[in-house]
Amino acid sequence: MTRRWTCAAPLSLGLVWAVVACRQADRLPPNDREVVARRTDTTALAPGALTMLPAAPVTGWKGPGERPFEVTLRTADPVSALARRFGTITLRTSLRARTPDLGQYPCTSCHLGRRMVLADERVADAHQNIKPIHPAQTGAACSTCHAPDNVEYLALKSGERATLDHAYRLCAQCHFSQADAWAGGGHGKRLDGWQGRRVVMGCGDCHDPHKPTLEPRIPFRAPQLQRQRGDAP
Amino acid sequence: MRADRAPAMPNADDERTVLQKRVDRRRALGILLGGVAVGAQAMTACSPVAPMTDEARETRLLAWREYIKGNYRSMTETERGETIARLERLAKVTRGADVKIQSTSAQPGVMFGYAFNISKCKGFRNCVEACINENNLDRRAGTQYIRIFEMEDGVVDLDEADATFQHEVPAEGHFYMGTQCFQCADPPCVKVCPVGATWQEPDGITVIDYDWCIGCRYCMAACPYWARRFNWSAPDVPVAEINPNQHYLGNRARKMGVVEKCTFCIHRTRQGRLPACAEACPTGARVFGNLLDPSSEIRWVLANKKVFRLKEDLKTEPRFWYFTD
Amino acid sequence: MHLKPFVLSALRSATTGGRRYHVWMGSLTLIMLAGAYAYSLQLRYGLGVTGMSDHVSWGLYISNFTFLVGMAAAAMMLVLPAYILHDVDFGRAVLMAEAVAVAAIVMCLGFVVVDIGNPLGSWHLIPGVGYLNWPRSLLAWDVVVLNGYLVINLAIPFYILYGRFRGRPPEKRRYLIWMYIAVMWAVSIHLVTAFLLAGLPARPFWNTALLGPRFLASAFTAGPAFVILLLWFIKQTTKYEIADGAFAKLALITTVTAQINLIMLGSELFYKFYSPTHHGINARYLFFGLDGHHALVPWIWTAIAVNAIATVVLMIHPLRHDPRWLMPACAALFIGIWVEKGMGLVIPGFIPSPLGEIVEYTPTVVELGVTAGVWALGLFVLTVLVRVALPIELGEVRSPYIEKATPSAPIVRPRSTPPLRQPTPPVRTR
């Protein structure tokens, strides 16, 4: 009797484990060639926290001075004057994390089972603020850029996936010369000073991916060519 | 008798004029004293003379010490500290502003360079606004160090450009190009100053000692890029808008009658920060960095983009390049 | 020991005169006072009371300065023949020309002082106490040469006049070397002023090799023209003898330099307009207007026309020797060159700006007031100097301490009473 229980227990445990593991497998991305680190702790991206996330060098790109373009992520520091300001030191280029800015992140808060909801099941006011101008220009559908099976990821042409924080990998597929300039320093903005660690903005920080062109605006006042006289007689 | 010393009486036939009439010493003294008394009365009636307050006395003394000081380059560290203390105190006493004036010198191994992307500039003039606020520019005169020119596609000709545009930008068929002081490597303005009030620092910034400048404006005639401005009247910045983070050679309060110009925000760049214009640009058209650092963005731009400078033939070697996407 | 009587008699000469003289000096004083008031406004409110701007940063003051440096240099045109070539004709005229030079330099220094934004900081220019950026800055050169020229032009006539005053004629060997120096210095003051403009590649209107020679040519036209007018006035109103030969030679010099001036103008016009480049845009603004801005066009063409007509008049031999033609022609040349060199040279250098912006310039009332005040100061100085020099030259005034009479300078005691009738002594009842 005792021998039967001692055999059944590990077996049943193993069975339970197998079932649970299969269900967990659904949560894993189907692609095992992912090159981007996966976020393990979602709370680490709360604004105000500084988290260093390891990343591999992005192959083929050179940063300024022919350095390998390595990317690490840092969260936004709301204490700074501009909401996008943060920074300090060390060697590599840091990228500003994009996802804290996304109002509807994480996607799984709406998308059940991480799949893109099909048209007839679409919630009426979801993503209504997005005007798909860039998709219209390029003839793209939502699934061209967003991985259909997991909306937290962007789908690259090579089959790889990139998180939303590393959207530059997606944009660079077409905008390779701009991406090259961005890695080197001729495109985009540097967030810290000219000295020390280089912290840059990502593509989405300036360009709305669905409507990338900057809006025209009325400029600051023009100079007066004729000198304004003071209180002189 | 004293007849030979008596004054000659005026005679009807006398052709001497009023100015040649002779009077004796006593009468002359009386006339002079009377004139002095009348004059003093008139002067005191026009200008109320009140007893001087302590504050006024202190301001007078500080102003006198500031007047007799030498050129900044010839000062010792102690003297520089003293003049900065005086200037900070004067700012507090005369305007109620708490300012902090640096005297940071150039970092070794640094030479500033600037690149401007004329494909990216859309003419927003965010840089102009940021510069005015950062550098305490005269609000009444509307001084602007930065000029943004709108040009038609096809030709880079400043004679045909317009900096006074005030319509929605970017306008169709036009592009935008900004100028400011280019901190030339061979600056014509430095050469011509008769008193040596302007010179180039080791990190490449051409600076002015405002208290040494005599206001002859020869440097303004010599600059090929129209980078220098003159204080035609006393500059006026509202106290609430004063940027208290100042540098002696940069954005501290200037006075009437002296020349000023862009200093690449010397109070920021010597602390490792970007100049206000580069930081403010929303399109990322401005690239700033250290030309001596091979891993800087400015070096990347110079190596990988087709760059040009204005008036290259004048051999002023400006440290400000233009490039396109 | 002769110095005190010299100064006293100089003061007396300067303050003695008829009604016309006092009206003249009084008017000049009034204008100087008005100019001083206008300058006080400038000191109080800043240079913003003038019409200058960041675009046209030099205006009427520097225009006048440029013109007057030329006048000062040209006075030396007479020194060269008189002292060095022993031309007797010029001998009487030279001191008057030196007076013109001193007055012109005083005006130049005056215009520089009113133009700078921080005049109380002028001590920064003094080497030792301040810092003079010599030899790199042409303006530093200008400070040195102008002040040196003033000293030379005060010292040499002082030596001559003082010598005559005390009955000891000046010794040529003592001052001849200074004359040579003065002549070279005169050319250099105007070349330095020309170089300070011509050495700026930022201003293509000035950045030409011909600017220095043009300056000299126009200076040596306007200077002798003014000296002719002055000498004629002196000849009409005093007993001072000036030979007709002096007038003839001066007029000839003026004619030749006026012709050279026109040739140089023609050369500049050809260079700027035959193959117009960007560098000629300032000339295009000046002569033909640019983008609807043409404020200076009538001025320059009038000036050129006046200069050309005056030159042609002077080229005609009988007219040149007739004062009724010579004097108006000289006055016309003086005015024409003032316009051409002042407004037609300094102002267009700034329009359009190096970045292509066009901002025109109009002097304000305050600016005109200060300018008038400085001119009045110069004329005042000139009158005083001439007034002091003439009696000494005429032999009317000598030191009371001279021991023996010389035939050319009889002892004349300083008069304590006017030269006319003695007042009748009062009748004494005793």
The two structure tokens encoding residue C193 = 């002023």
Closest partner CB to A185 (pick from B122, B273, B301)? B301
Range B23-50 average pLDDT: 73
Please list every residue in chain A whose beta carbon sits closer than 8 Å to the beta carbon of residue C38.
none
pLDDT on residue B54: 86
Find chains touching chain B: ≥3 CB pairs under 8 Å. Answer: A, C
The two structure tokens encoding residue B118 = 């004329």
CB C58 within 8 A of CB C361: no
Show which of residues 267-296 on chain B sit within 8 Å of chain C, judged by CB atoms. none
pLDDT on residue A54: 45
CB A49 within 8 A of CB A37: no
List pLDDT tens digits, range C164-181. 888 887 787 887 788 888
Q: Which of C73, C72, C63 is nearest to C106 (CA)?
A: C72
Distance separating alpha carbons of residues C404 and C408, to the nearest angstrom: 11
C373 or A188: whose pLDDT is higher?
A: C373
Asked if the model's pLDDT at residue B145 lies above 90, the reply is yes
CA torsion, points C384, C388, C390, C393, in degrees to nearest 10?
-150
- Give the best-scoring range by mean pLDDT among A50-64, A128-142, A166-180, C400-414: A166-180
The answer, for B304 touching chain C at a CB cutoff of 8 Å, is no
Please list every residue in chain C whose beta carbon sits closer than 8 Å to the beta carbon of residue A223.
none
Q: Nearest residue on chain B to A222, judged by CA atoms?
A: B164
Q: Nearest residue on chain B to A64, judged by CA atoms?
A: B295
The answer, for A67 touching chain B at a CB cutoff of 8 Å, is yes
- Give Cα separations from A30 to A117, A150, A153, A161, C325 (angstroms): 18, 9, 12, 10, 108
Show which of residues 194-233 on chain A sit within 8 Å of chain C, judged by CB atoms. 225-227, 229-233
Asked if the model's pLDDT at residue C110 lies above 90, the reply is yes
Please list every residue in chain A whose beta carbon sits closer than 8 Å to the beta carbon of residue B273.
193-194
Show which of residues 19-58 on chain C sit within 8 Å of chain A, judged by CB atoms. 41, 45-46, 48-49, 53-55
The two structure tokens encoding residue A109 = 């808060």
CB A115 within 8 A of CB A149: yes
Please list every residue in chain C whose beta carbon sits closer than 8 Å to the beta carbon of residue B257.
46-47, 116-118
- The reply to whether residue C46 touches residue A230, judged by beta carbons under 8 angstroms, is yes
pLDDT on residue A153: 83
* pTM of the complete model: 0.82
CB C100 within 8 A of CB C384: no
Give B64-102 as a DSSP string: HHHHH---GGG--HHHHHHHHHHHHHHHHHHH----EEE
B48 or C289: whose pLDDT is higher?
A: C289
Please list every residue in chain A whose beta carbon sits closer than 8 Å to the beta carbon of residue C49.
229, 232-233
- A194 CA: distance to closest CA in chain C (Å): 29
Residue that has been written with the tokens 């005060």 in this structure: C154
Banded pLDDT at A140 (limits 50, 70, 90): confident
Asked if the model's pLDDT at residue B14 lies above 80, the reply is no
B298 or C408: whose pLDDT is higher?
A: B298
CB C257 within 8 A of CB C221: yes
pLDDT on residue B21: 67
The answer, for B170 touching chain C at a CB cutoff of 8 Å, is no
pLDDT on residue A67: 65
Show which of residues 97-156 on chain B sit within 8 Å of chain A, judged by CB atoms. 115, 117, 122-126, 128-129, 140-142, 144, 147-148
- The reply to whether residue A64 touches residue B290, judged by beta carbons under 8 angstroms, is no
- The reply to whether residue C357 touches residue B163, judged by beta carbons under 8 angstroms, is yes
- The reply to whether residue A190 touches residue B274, judged by beta carbons under 8 angstroms, is yes
Banded pLDDT at B45 (limits 50, 70, 90): low
C428 or C213: whose pLDDT is higher?
A: C213
Residue that has been written with the tokens 């003379």 in this structure: B49
pLDDT on residue A47: 45
B208 or A160: whose pLDDT is higher?
A: B208
Show which of residues 252-291 on chain C sit within 8 Å of chain A, judged by CB atoms. none
Among A92-101, B57-66, B246-255, the minimum mean pLDDT is found in A92-101
Distance separating alpha carbons of residues C100 and B312, to the nearest angstrom: 45
% of chain C at pLDDT higher than 90 = 64
Q: Which of B285, B146, B156, B288 is nearest to B226 (CA)?
A: B146
Closest partner CB to A184 (pick from B165, B268, B300)? B300
**Centroid of chain to Cα C255:** 19
pLDDT on residue B39: 79
Show which of residues 242-281 on chain B sit within 8 Å of chain A, judged by CB atoms. 268-269, 271-274, 281
Give B31-45 as a DSSP string: HHHHHHHHHHHHHHH
Show which of residues 70-89 on chain B sit within 8 Å of chain C, judged by CB atoms. 70-71, 74
- The reply to whether residue C41 touches residue A231, judged by beta carbons under 8 angstroms, is no
CB A61 within 8 A of CB A37: no
pLDDT on residue A160: 85
CA angle B230, C35, C26 (to 5 degrees): 165
Distance separating alpha carbons of residues B57 and B304, to the nearest angstrom: 60
- Give Cα separations from C180 to B103, C82, C174, C175, C177 (angstroms): 51, 12, 12, 9, 5
- C314 CA: distance to closest CA in chain B (Å): 37
- The reply to whether residue B232 touches residue C48, judged by beta carbons under 8 angstroms, is yes
Range C184-199 average pLDDT: 92
Rg of chain A on CA atoms, in Å: 24
DSSP state of C243: -
Closest partner CB to A232 (pick from C45, C53, C55)? C45
For chain A, give the mean pLDDT.
66
Range B45-64 average pLDDT: 78
Asked if the model's pLDDT at residue B286 lies above 60, the reply is yes
H-assigned helices in chain B: 25-46, 54-68, 77-95, 126-134, 188-192, 218-222, 266-269, 276-280, 297-304
Asked if the model's pLDDT at residue B294 lies above 80, the reply is yes
Range A108-116 average pLDDT: 57
- The reply to whether residue B165 touches residue A228, judged by beta carbons under 8 angstroms, is no
Please list every residue in chain A whose beta carbon sits closer than 8 Å to the beta carbon of residue C48.
227, 229-230, 232
Give the number of B-C residue pairs with CB atoms closer than 8 Å.
167
Show which of residues 70-109 on chain A sit within 8 Å of chain B, judged by CB atoms. none
Banded pLDDT at C425 (limits 50, 70, 90): low
Q: Nearest residue on chain A to B130, judged by CA atoms?
A: A220
pLDDT on residue B185: 96
For chain C, give the mean pLDDT.
89
Find chains touching chain A: ≥3 CB pairs under 8 Å. Answer: B, C
Range C373-378 average pLDDT: 98
Banded pLDDT at A38 (limits 50, 70, 90): very low
Q: Decide the pairing of beta strands A57-62 and A68-74.
A: antiparallel
Q: What ipTM was estimated for this complex?
A: 0.88
- The reply to whether residue C53 touches residue A227, judged by beta carbons under 8 angstroms, is yes
Distance separating alpha carbons of residues C158 and C425, to the nearest angstrom: 40
Asked if the model's pLDDT at residue B301 lies above 70, the reply is yes
CB A165 within 8 A of CB A73: yes
pLDDT on residue A104: 66
Asked if the model's pLDDT at residue B16 lies above 80, the reply is no
pLDDT on residue B180: 97
Please list every residue in chain A whose beta carbon sits closer than 8 Å to the beta carbon of residue B257.
none
pLDDT on residue C80: 72
A126-151 core/surface letters (b: 16 or more CB in 10 A; e: else): eeeeeeeebbeeeeeeeeebbbebbb
pLDDT on residue A86: 28
- The reply to whether residue C55 touches residue A225, judged by beta carbons under 8 angstroms, is yes
List pLDDT tens digits, range C291-343. 899 999 999 999 999 999 999 999 999 999 999 999 999 999 999 999 999 88
- Give the best-scoring range by mean pLDDT among B16-30, B34-48, B60-74: B60-74
Distance separating alpha carbons of residues C426 and A198, to the nearest angstrom: 105
Banded pLDDT at B91 (limits 50, 70, 90): very high
Strands (E), chain A: 57-62, 68-74, 93-96, 153-155, 161-163, 198-200
Among A1-10, B139-148, B182-191, the minimum mean pLDDT is found in A1-10
Question: Cβ–Cβ contacts within 10 Å for residue A25, how many?
Answer: 9
Distance separating alpha carbons of residues C14 and C246, to the nearest angstrom: 26
Q: Which of C229, C220, C237 is nearest to C81 (CA)?
A: C220
pLDDT on residue C428: 56
Give the number of A-C residue pairs with CB atoms closer than 8 Å.
25
Range C96-118 average pLDDT: 94
List pLDDT tens digits, range A39-78. 434 434 444 344 444 444 555 666 677 666 666 555 544 3
> Tell me, what amino acid is at B250?
G
- Residues with Cβ within 8 Å of B317's Cβ and at least 6 positions away in sequence, in order, are B184, B185, B186
pLDDT on residue A36: 36
The two structure tokens encoding residue C36 = 């001083």
Q: In a mutagenesis test of the B interface, which of C137, C146, C282, C284 is the best target, namely the one with the most B β-carbons within 10 Å?
A: C137
Give A162-175 as a DSSP string: EEGGGTHHHHHHH-
pLDDT on residue A123: 57
- Residues with Cβ within 8 Å of A197's Cβ and at least 6 positions away in sequence, in order, are A87, A88, A89, A90, A91, A92, A94
Q: Which of B145, B181, B182 is nearest to B163 (CA)?
A: B145
pLDDT on residue B143: 94
Q: In a mutagenesis test of the B interface, which of C145, C355, C367, C424 is the best target, namely the one with the most B β-carbons within 10 Å?
A: C355
Q: In a mutagenesis test of the B interface, which of C37, C61, C131 is the best target, namely the one with the most B β-carbons within 10 Å?
A: C131
- The reply to whether residue A225 touches residue C366, judged by beta carbons under 8 angstroms, is no
DSSP state of C411: -
Partners of residue B177 on adjacent β-strands = B149
Distance separating alpha carbons of residues A225 and B10, to the nearest angstrom: 65
pLDDT on residue C173: 80
pLDDT on residue A4: 75
Question: Cβ–Cβ contacts within 10 Å for residue C344, how many?
Answer: 22
- C73 CA: distance to closest CA in chain B (Å): 22
The two structure tokens encoding residue C327 = 């004097």
Asked if the model's pLDDT at residue B11 lies above 80, the reply is no
Asked if the model's pLDDT at residue C351 lies above 70, the reply is yes
Q: In a mutagenesis test of the A interface, which of C39, C42, C53 is the best target, namely the one with the most A β-carbons within 10 Å?
A: C53
